[in-house]
Structure 1
Amino acid sequence: MDLPLILEPSELQAVLGQADLLILDLGKSDTYQQAHVPGAISVAPGDIQLGIKPAPGLLPTQQQLSILFSRLGLTQDTHVVVYDDDGGPWAGRMIWVLDSIGHKNYSFLNGGIHSWLAEQRPIESQANTATATEYKVAAIDESVSITQAQLLTAIEAESVQIWDARSHKEYTGEKAVSKRGGHLPGAVSYEFSIALDSDNHLKLRDLEVIRKELAAIGINGEQTLVSHCQTHRRSGLTYVIAKALGWPMQAYAGSWAQWGNDPDTPIETGE
């Protein structure tokens, strides 16, 4: 199945019901119960997080991921379409999870359920379950992620560009969700929601406009790009955007929950 990374609702509707298509809804359960894309299976966002403090956003274990994707009926030939009800951060995180397990056949539904409903595409309300498989995550592709220790080394070497997807108040340290507020040395602020078009049902804004806005603050893909937020939810969307722009990207899944709660990590505050 040859589908683009950023998938429009019309393109998804055209392939509904095809074999080897797996649609995953990462939105809230009550939204799913009211209306979802036909055939979509609800996935709780907690299923794609390790969930252990101080860094709950780390990747689940290989065993946990094997159990999850077996339950979802994943096979090597499956094309996965992901969406949520918040503009795409959870869906984007799932793209990163799929990259981490080496499954590269996937698409991101532009605008998620909001654009789907706005375009009056077909919906259903009954819950769906998959035919289970025996999917084994044999290895984790660590190239799509960066650890705290690796990031410390990269910051010292000035070998990465860092995209902080949190709110600007979190970035400056005015708002602190962890023990310490502020941002990683050298990081630049571009809140994930800036990339969404609130006048067009939370679809992504024009990617070339986003590219220019990021270039203006020093993010241009000439070095490996690292993105984070508090728990690698919001930066799930920035992960997808970087992939759509063709930039090398690594997720810092530990995010500020890990960095800001470590008394020994270097931080900067203010602009």
Structure 2
Amino acid sequence: MKLRTVRGIVGSLMALVAVTALFGCGSSSESTAAAVTPPPATVAKAVETFTTTDALAASQQNVLIVDVRSAANYAAGHIPGAIRNTVSINSTTASATGSAGTLGLTQAEFVSLANTLGITPSTKVVAYDTDNSSSVGRFVWTLLRYGHKNVAILDGGYQKWVAEKRPTTTTATLPTANTVSYAVSSVADIDVSADYVLSKINTPGYVIWDSRSVLEYIGYDLRTNPRGGHIPYAVSLDWTNLQTQDANGVSVLKSSTEILELLKEHGITPDKEIIIYCQAGVRSSYSSDTLLGLGFTKVKNYTGSWGEWSAALKSDGSYKYPVSTGTNP
């Protein structure tokens, strides 16, 4: 598995070098061509954490539709009846860097979100974003974490809805806040800390999945981080490889069979615990939602992700967590 992963990364880098020579470095996608075609994976049922535009159109009256796009995009046009999420899905809790970052919401913060948006334990929620944005994944993952299973991502998002010439509006729908506070009945064990991740590096039965771009993984694209690279022994698989384009050029989720084959190629299988990270726990949330929807039962989202991992310091001022660069494990 490690050799195939390195080959995949090297192949991706060769492709990126060719593109850079012509157009400059601007691609965030990753080639997933493998040296050996893996055997077919077990065919799964539909990804249960996603829903279709057809299904939403058929049952809009019984669903709370949540638009997680910007205020400007919502004002320019949205699905009729959709409310816009105005509540942050990043916790005010301090991360390992000592400042509030991207950690998952506390239970109290989640209850505040649900009460503000009018989500009750029996509410069916469908959330959407642009077709190729992973932010909707973080919103849905947050609800799943606090036991709200009746929630799904609208596959293809607003772009697919519009491409299919379905009705839109510029008239805002305001949420109806809860009069009775949301009661959390269970909390899913799908969020982990940096120290937990550290304890699982290169451990049999565990896979750490880096869902960022290859350029971030190798340490070339630093973004705003003090250090580039990846968590040692993490597998590189850009989250965008979970998607394909439909006939209208809209990004949608691949079939469950295609996704399972892709995951298996990278050693991501249901028998292992899968720990996923990105830059800020957003792309990893979309990836987590996908695995959970496929029936994986041991899925953990490291919401602190690279923003926390690369910057956290020990008391002596040295960096707290190890980093690998390039194609090194």
Report the residue type matching 1:253 in the other structure.
Answer: T
1:190 to 1:84, Cα distance in 2 relative to 1, 3 A? same
Of 47, 64, 89, the residue aligned with 1:48 is 89
> Aligned letter for 1:10?
D
Deviations 1:98-134 (A, max 9, x none): 0222211111110110111111112111111122113
Aligned twin of 1:68: 113
Q: Which structure 1 residue ranges, 4+ long, deviate > 4 Å from structure 2? A: 51-55, 137-140
Paired residues of 1:93 and 1:233 also in contact (CA < 8 A): yes
Shift of residue 173, structure 1, vs aligned partner: 0.9
Q: Quote the residue 1:214 is aligned against.
A: 263
Residue in structure 2 matched with residue 204 of structure 1 by the alignment: 253
Counterpart-to-counterpart distance in 2, 1:140 and 1:257: 29
| SS of match in other structure, 1:12 | helix
Report the CA distance between 1:4 and its aligned residue.
Answer: 4.4
Q: Per the alignment, do residues 140 and 50 of structure 1 end up closer, same or farther by CA in structure 2, a change over 3 Å counting?
A: farther
1:11 aligns with 2:55: yes
Once the two structures are TM-superposed, the CA of residue 61 in structure 1 deviates from its matched residue by 3.1
The alpha-carbon distance between structure 1 residues 9 and 39, as it changes in their structure 2 partners (threshold 3 A), is: same
Larger of the two Rg values belongs to structure: 2
Question: Who is 2:229 aligned against?
Answer: 182
CA distance in 1, matches of 2:257, 2:162: 26
* AA partner of residue 52 (structure 2): E
User: 1:189 corresponds to which letter in structure 2?
Assistant: S
How big is the shift at 1:138? 4.5
Aligned to 2:74: 32
How does 1:1-271 map onto structure 2 within 5 Å? 4-18=48-62, 21-44=63-86, 47-50=88-91, 54=97, 56-133=101-178, 134-136=180-182, 138=184, 141=187, 143-155=189-201, 157-177=203-223, 178-199=225-246, 200-247=249-296, 248-262=298-312, 263-271=319-327
Q: Distance in 1 between matches of 2:48 and 2:270?
A: 21
Q: Return the offset for 1:229.
A: 0.5
Tell me the distance in 2 between the aligned counterparts of 1:135 and 1:116. Answer: 33
TM value normalised by structure 1: 0.90
Letter in 1 for 2:263: L
> Distance between the aligned counterparts of 1:140 and 1:191, measured in 2?
31
| Gaps in structure 1 of 5+ consecutive residues | none
Question: How far does residue 42 in structure 1 lie from its aligned partner after superposition?
Answer: 0.7
Quick one: distance in 2 between partners of 1:143 and 1:31? 34
Calculate percent identity across the aligned residue pairs: 31
- AA matched with 2:239: F
Calculate the TM-score normalised by the size of structure 2. Answer: 0.75
